[in-house]
Amino acid sequence: MTFWPALAALAAAALLAAAGINLHVWRSGSRLIRTVDNLNSTALGLVLGARVWPGNVPSAMLEDRLQVAALLWRRKRVEKLLLSGDNRPGHGEVDAMEAHLLALGVLPQDLLRDEAGLTTHTSLVRARGLFAAHSLTVITQGFHLPRALYSAQRLGLDAHGVPADLRPYARMTRNQVRETLARLKAFLRWSSAI
């Protein structure tokens, strides 16, 4: 076998493996996705952070997560909301999340703050460790939920998720590519932990 055909065969095998891993993570997490109406109540709703614009304005994705979180709280599907994001100077995700939810009528005593949830993984680890979560509802966009729920499951959390897709979003192709790579990373993290 010459060099180029062997390289092409290796590349094809790697792409096939990556596609299989993505499908596995997606299927594992997707089976845990619920709607607002068919979600069993949990003590905690985990709202994952996202970009905040200057002036403490949540991005479209974050605003939709907050709208769904407030709806779940009002319908008593979650008792408290854990706001997990990057609250370092210049980011301010948790501050913006809290202000927005208070404006939507969520009571201050029902909001918990995790200002160091820099990634989906760290948000879940901190929810389990620092906030003693055993079961929770993850609130984020549908393209992100399967990986978040896959990781929650690997951490031993009884988790379900509700998608927060209330509108079309810009740059979804970029988000999908990024998520494909993040699913591979999540799988490798948990495979190496076995």
CB-count burial class (<10 Å; 0-12, 13-18, 19+) for 86: buried
Token pair for 58: 């949540």
Q: How large is the average pLDDT for residues 83-94?
A: 92
Domain that holds residue 157: 22-192
Q: How large is the average pLDDT for residues 22-38?
A: 91
In a domain, 17, yes or no: no
In a domain, 51, yes or no: yes
Q: Give the predicted TM-score (pTM) of the model.
A: 0.89
Read off the CATH number of the domain in which 48 is found: 3.40.50.620
In a domain, 6, yes or no: no
In a domain, 80, yes or no: yes
CA distance 95 to 163: 22
What average pLDDT does the structure give for the chain? 91
CA distance 153 to 3: 42
Q: How many domains does the chain have?
A: 1
pLDDT in tens, 99-135: 999 999 999 999 999 999 999 999 999 999 999 999 9
The number of beta carbons lying within 10 Å of the beta carbon of residue 67 is 17
Q: What is the structure's pLDDT at 38?
A: 92
Q: How large is the average pLDDT for residues 139-162?
A: 96
In a domain, 14, yes or no: no
CA distance 173 to 183: 15
In a domain, 13, yes or no: no
